[in-house]
Amino acid sequence: MKSYFPKDFLWGGAIAANQAEGAWNVGGKGLSVADVAKYKPETDVKDYVSQWHVSPEQIEEAMATDDDVFFPKRHGIDFYHRYEEDLALFKEMGMKSLRISIAWTRLFPNGDEQMPNEEGIAYYHRLFKAMRKNQIEPIVTLSHYEMPLYLVNTYDGWVSRAVVEMFTRYAETCFKEYSQYVNYWLTFNEIDSVFRHPFTTVGVVEEKYPDKKSAEEAIYQALHHQFIASSIATKLAKRIDAANQIGCMMTRTLAYPLTSNPEDVLLAQQHNRENYFYADVQVFGEYPQFVKNYWIENGIHVEMAPGDEEILKLYTVDFVSFSYYMSMIKSVDEDHMEKVGGNLVTSVKNPYLDISEWGWQIDPIGLRISLIDMYDRYRLPLFIVESGIGSLDELVDGKIHDDYRIEYFRNHFKEVNEAIKSGVEVMGYTTWGCIDIVSASTSQMTKRYGFIYVDLDDLGKGSYNRFKKDSFNWYQTVIETNGESLYEEIQTEKVEKTTAHS
Ligand code: BGP
């Protein structure tokens, strides 16, 4: 087998401002929804829903304190001040690209200002110049769970149509300031996650709604406004610089039927179709009929302004980016079956797959299945902008022997190679958390994804020093050989992962 990776394949890594930068109240930055994300040691790390849920009381508590021990996204890994050191390590690794997000509240602290915060503008000029100096291509997410908290408290978040104009003003500012360094832009991170964690994505506080149905209707309304904002941003990006490429970004939540029972197959198909709905709107420029019928059947009203449907149709995306961590199983009998956690909701356990320490089912072949399926559906270039394994890495004598991470990526990269060989156009692969950062769902530091270890624990104690893991040099070779090394290595026998914690 040989490497089919194109010469310009964008090997790289991905982080997000709210999980890496820290400096939460520095340089004029306003409070974002991430600054109220709490580390909850008393909660089961596999209990995805409660980890993500933010109550009105938690918002009040967070706004009343400068604490950053139990609000770890406020310190992140201090990337804000250390980015030059980290970019040098990424360059040493040979990374061609780095996915980051711009923190909306560094540019517009409350979100409804007419003019941006100049200190915030200046910071990202410094960062993008440094990336270019290190020959690293920026892949920039405009909104990665970082909307201004002020918009949540004052405008009910994205439910308000006024937020569309505020977002497009922010986006236009980014395109005008940074198109000189940036060619690839993603609008909303995992736009399909609005129903999984509505507070961080669209600023919907479910407790504010009298019942589940009105909360659901509010989320669909907020989602519509994000679709419109994404389309207008796409128009503005190309008007400002025709070289700008805009991608949508979804969580690929591949579901298999548990059995060949047609009811299981139908359930899995429905799940996959609902998962694709969000990219469908941004690729095809219209709502699929099954969603409109769902609204009618369930009495959900989504207010659309005159011209909205034309905007969606006119300004569609150039590529489809997505995160891929795990696959899941659907079954009509799933209520009484063993479940596992996941980057979403629980799933029936797949007896053929290993799981991570956080219960995420590891499925490299599922990545190939997803790539082929998505390419056949959209016929647009695909970009894997998140993928990786969160793990309890052990720092021993300055070393971290993360053979399990090497195994994870070796297997996933090989499946991408097979997909490319079968005709799928893949632009790049930015591994999630190329350097350890604060977990999105659990706000833990000890859920580590990086090729670079950061000496920091869940309560913010540590030197913040960086250490290369074994996977650092392995990835360096993969990039250097453009994937050829995947087929030259002597396969080391599978290392059973043992941790002091188990
Ligand atoms: C995705 C988010 C990322 C990232 C990843 C890993 O949903 O887009 O921000 O964090 O999940 O999840 P976690 O950090 O919860 O392990």
One digit per residue, the tens of pLDDT, for the chain of length 502 reads 799 999 999 999 999 999 999 999 999 999 999 999 999 999 888 777 788 899 999 999 999 999 999 999 999 999 999 999 999 999 999 999 999 999 999 999 999 999 999 999 999 999 999 999 999 999 999 999 999 999 999 999 999 999 999 999 999 999 999 999 999 999 999 999 999 999 999 999 999 999 999 999 999 999 999 999 999 999 999 999 999 999 999 999 999 999 999 999 999 999 999 999 999 999 999 999 999 999 999 999 999 999 999 999 999 999 999 999 999 999 998 887 877 766 656 788 899 999 998 889 999 999 999 999 999 999 999 999 999 999 999 999 989 999 999 999 999 999 999 999 999 999 999 999 999 999 999 999 999 999 999 999 999 999 999 999 999 999 999 999 999 999 986 655 555 554 433 3
**According to the model, what pLDDT value does residue 371 have?**
98
Determine the Cα–Cα distance for residues 89 and 102; give it in Å rounded to an integer: 21
Counts for the chain of helices (H) and strands (E), in that order: 16, 16
Ligand 1 mean position, distance from CA 443 (Å): 10
Closest ligand 1 atom to residue 388 Cα is 6
For residue 376, give the 3-state DSSP assignment: helix
Q: Nearest 5°: CA angle at 284, between 278 and 285? A: 80
Closest ligand 1 atom to residue 449 Cα is 16
Instruction: Give, using CA atoms, the residue closest to atom 2 of ligand 1.
Output: 440
* Residue pair 414/398 in contact by the 8 Å Cβ criterion: no
Ligand 1 mean position, distance from CA 251 (Å): 10
Which of 137, 146, 190, 415 does the annotation list as catalytic?
A: 190
* Residue pair 203/218 in contact by the 8 Å Cβ criterion: no
pTM, two decimals, is 0.96
Determine the Cα–Cα distance for residues 301 and 298; give it in Å rounded to an integer: 9
**According to the model, what pLDDT value does residue 335 have?**
81
Ordered structural domains, the chain, with CATH: 10-501 (3.20.20.80)
**According to the model, what pLDDT value does residue 491 have?**
56
Q: What length does the chain have?
A: 502
Q: How many Cβ atoms sit within 10 Å of the Cβ of residue 425?
A: 15
Q: How far is CA 35 from the centre of its chain?
A: 17
Active site residue 386: yes
Instruction: Give, using CA atoms, the residue closest to atom 4 of ligand 1.
Output: 440
Residues having CB closer than 6 A to ligand 1 are 16, 19, 189-190, 323, 343, 386, 390, 432, 439-442, 447
* Residue pair 45/358 in contact by the 8 Å Cβ criterion: yes
- DSSP string covering 198-211: HHHHH---GGGSSS
For residue 378, give the 3-state DSSP assignment: helix
Ligand 1 mean position, distance from CA 106 (Å): 21
Helices 118-133/162-178 angle, 10° precision: 40
Closest ligand 1 atom to residue 251 Cα is 7
For ligand 1, mutation pick of 432, 434, 447 (most atoms within 8 Å of CB):
432
